[in-house]
Structures are given as C-alpha cells and as structure tokens.
Amino acid sequence: MSKKNKSIPRFQSEDRERDFWSKNDSADYLDWKKAQEIRFPNLKPSTKTISVRFPEGLLDDLKILANKRDVPYQSLLKIFVAERVEEENRG
C-alpha cells in the first residue's frame, strides 16, 4: 500500500522554499519511485568567472594550440579541463 504524500506548499520566495526543503524530507511530498529522468539539451550551464595564474610559457603554448585549431584559447582551456575531469572521474 502506498502512502499518501503531503501537498507541497506555495512559497513566497526562493529563500523560503530553500529554507523549507532544508528542514523537510522530499520523500514526504514526492513519490520518487515514479520519478523519471529528463534532460534539457538546450539549457546552457551557468558559468562563473575565475582567475587562474599560468606561467607565461604555458599560456603562450596554449594560445599557439588554440590558434592552430582556430578557437579562443579560453575555450580550448575549458575543453582540456573538461576532458581531464571526465578522465579522472572514469578512472
């Protein structure tokens, strides 16, 4: 027999919703057994600007590689980092 889920309240702000979910178990409000995975293929991920210092020679090498591939060096750096993170996560 499945249990009856509570109704999710309406929230006046994201802060109040965040506070609510930090103190309540979503399993009391949702039947996670019925959940389905969905994807948003056209959704752009949020980005955050950071500052990273590189040795000048390494930065020069990166710019040369990027120029050969006809991409901005920042984009090439993101590709390299993403590939390495994926590799580390697999391994």
Domain edges within the chain = 56-90
Apex 82 CA angle, 39 and 88, nearest 5: 100
Full-model pTM: 0.53
For residue 23, what are its two tokens? Answer: 């103190």
If you average pLDDT over residues 30-50, what whole number do you get? 89
If you average pLDDT over residues 58-74, what whole number do you get? 97
Q: What pLDDT was estimated at residue 46?
A: 86
| Of 79, 76, 84, 82, nearest in space to 59 by CA | 76
User: Is 1's pLDDT higher than 80?
Assistant: no
